[in-house]
Chains A and B, each alone.
Chain A
Amino acid sequence: DIRVAQSPSSLSASVGDRVTITCRTSQGVMNYLHWYRQRPGKAPEVLIYGASNLQSGVPSRFSGSGSGTDFTLTITSLQLEDVATYYCQHTHSIPWTFGPGTKVEVK
């Protein structure tokens, strides 16, 4: 099974800051890597699919990059509504697995 790690596990930043979250998989997953945001008490919602494709309706401050085993989610200007836990997930091979999450707070 492919293991998914994320860093940091949590971060605190100010509104307007640039935030970067990294995801590393134990084996290459090509671009089968996706990012989700889960606001408190809500269902996850996809932000980025295929490593770098912005899901329709998602603000352009979100971007993704990477391929193989190392990936990055960037929020160029953190907003209050971005307080959430962010998960990466691969769908390269069964079982699809999620990372442990990165909790983002606003100072």
Chain B
Amino acid sequence: QLQLLESGPGLLQPSETLSLTCSVSGDSMKNSKSYWGWIRQPPGKELEWIGDMFFSGSVRYNPALMSLSGRVTISIDTSRNQFFLRVTSMTVEDSGFYFCARRLIRGVSYFDSWGQGTQVTVSS
């Protein structure tokens, strides 16, 4: 069974860089029907898709998240069964829960497996 687990710092100061890792077990990251993505949830708000990546390196980001434009990078290391999220110049508005998830292609595509989530707080 596929399992995903996020890791990374829980507390950052404004302007610092967030680096999160998602460790994948139970399935190959080179599965042609899988995209590896990040979703966040600001406190008390709805879920926001940040972006996702295919094992080949092809990546798509959410163009509607203007606040993240130019600051976010998703990368992947299939040899370590991990993928990563990097957000530079963090602000208080970037605080929230960050989830890694697999987007499965099964006719339609949907997020079928999620990590437990990691809380990120940006505060001075």
The answer, yes or no, to whether B60 is at the interface (CB within 8 Å) is yes
- Inter-chain contact B46/A99, CB cutoff 8 Å: yes
Which residues on A sit within 8 Å (CB–CB) of B116?
42-43
Interface set, chain A 44-80, CB cutoff 8 A to B = 44-46, 49-50, 55
Count class of interface residues, chain B? 20 to 34
Q: What mask results when residues 52 to 90 of chain B are scored 1 for a CB within 8 Å of chain A, else 0?
A: 000000001011110000000000000000000000000
- Inter-chain contact A98/B47, CB cutoff 8 Å: yes
- Inter-chain contact B48/A44, CB cutoff 8 Å: no
- Inter-chain contact A91/B63, CB cutoff 8 Å: no
- Inter-chain contact B49/A98, CB cutoff 8 Å: yes
Partner of A55, one of B62, B63, B112: B112
Residues of A within 8 A of B (CB): 1, 31-32, 34, 36, 42-46, 49-50, 55, 87, 89, 91, 94-101
- Inter-chain contact A89/B110, CB cutoff 8 Å: yes
- Nearest chain A residue, comparing its CB with the CB of B62: A95
- Inter-chain contact B110/A50, CB cutoff 8 Å: yes
- Inter-chain contact B117/A43, CB cutoff 8 Å: yes
Q: Bound complex: CA of A43 vs CA of B110, how far in Å?
A: 15
A-B contact pairs, 27 of them (CB 8 A): A32-B108, A32-B109, A34-B108, A43-B114, A43-B117, A44-B111, A44-B114, A46-B110, A46-B111, A49-B108, A49-B110, A50-B108, A87-B47, A89-B110, A89-B111, A91-B109, A94-B60, A94-B62, A94-B63, A95-B62, A95-B65, A96-B49, A97-B64, A98-B46, A98-B48, A98-B49, A101-B46
